Amino acid sequence: MSDRAFSYALLIPAFFFLTLFTVKPLIGSVLSSMQERGGGGFTLENYARLGEDETFLRAATNNLLFSLLTVPLSLGLAMWLAVLLHQKMRGQGFLRAGVFAPAILPMVAIAVIWMYFYQPNIGVFNTILGSLGLPTPDWLGDPALVLPSLMVMMVWKEAGFFMIFYLAGLQGIDPELEEASRLEGTGKFRHFWKVSFPLLLPTTLFSAIVALSDSIKMVDFVFVMTQGGPNNASTLLLYHIYKVSFAQHWPQYAAAMSLVVVAVLVALAVIQIRLIDRKIHYR
């Protein structure tokens, strides 16, 4: 067997599982999305219905706001924490473990913890606000506050996770660059902006794509904390797709929504790569 044939033979198991668990379900979803409710027939009505589905449009708007705010805030906070914990300090390992801890907790456990924080009567936030004589809002019951409240929880969880990647990126930068900046009298902020930040762009590109994906595919906390309420104020796309598929028993329409979400995610990932890749300095 030639080397080329041997190489293709090694790829056969990977292609088999890729076809079984990715390509086949994708083809099935495409075919299902073009069927009428109950199966059978051929129609594009499921796609046309998306523009008139008020709940879908509300979920898309909520998810857009959720992604636009949580992704940059998570990455910015993660980078700041990484720079901070990259410095030599007492208890450095303990602090790193504490910041990373939310990333290893199950999303459901995090949702339960934050439900306690947001409790209107005995919650941590309202206890502090009440002791200061300030109003004590219903964080998860007020339509204007519920989505921002979920965003805060998401940023708290994601920042610790991405901090590890930024920390690894900082440790991979040649220390001689920092020494040269110090000898030239360059300030720490200027050194970070001109040297460290550009060298962290590959990490930022990877983290941005993963964070965007997480902001859409993570909906466990919606099940636990709000069930999409009040009045769909916290309904996100994947939660709406789940309800349509399993609560309303309409998998054909859910398949159409899923494919649109996947297409948008792929398009956004390509845009991110095109925009950031031009500025990346690969070493």
pLDDT tens-digit readout, 68-87: 999 999 999 999 999 999 88
The Cα–Cα gap between 283 and 199 comes to 8
Query: Residue 257's pLDDT is what?
Result: 94
3-state secondary structure of 75: helix
The Cα–Cα gap between 71 and 188 comes to 26
Residue pair 215/71 in contact by the 8 Å Cβ criterion: yes
Find, among 144, 80, 151, the residue nearest to 114 by Cα.
151
CA-to-CA separations, 119 to 78, 132, 149, 246, in angstroms, rounded: 27, 17, 12, 30
- Token pair for 251: 């998998």
Reported residue count of the chain is 283
- Token pair for 230: 């009040």
Give, as one character, the DSSP assignment of residue 52.
Answer: G
- Token pair for 181: 């900046």
pTM of the full structure: 0.87
Question: In angstroms, how far is the first alpha carbon of the chain from the final one?
Answer: 37
Query: Residue 265's pLDDT is what?
Result: 87
Query: Residue 280's pLDDT is what?
Result: 67
User: With 0-12 CB in 10 A as exposed, 13-18 as middle and 19+ as buried, what is 241?
Assistant: buried
Give, as one character, the DSSP assignment of residue 41.
Answer: S
Residue pair 145/167 in contact by the 8 Å Cβ criterion: no
Residue pair 67/154 in contact by the 8 Å Cβ criterion: no
Query: Residue 250's pLDDT is what?
Result: 92
Residue pair 100/160 in contact by the 8 Å Cβ criterion: yes
Place of tokens 């924080």: 117
Q: Which regions in the chain score pLDDT beneath 70? A: 1, 278-283
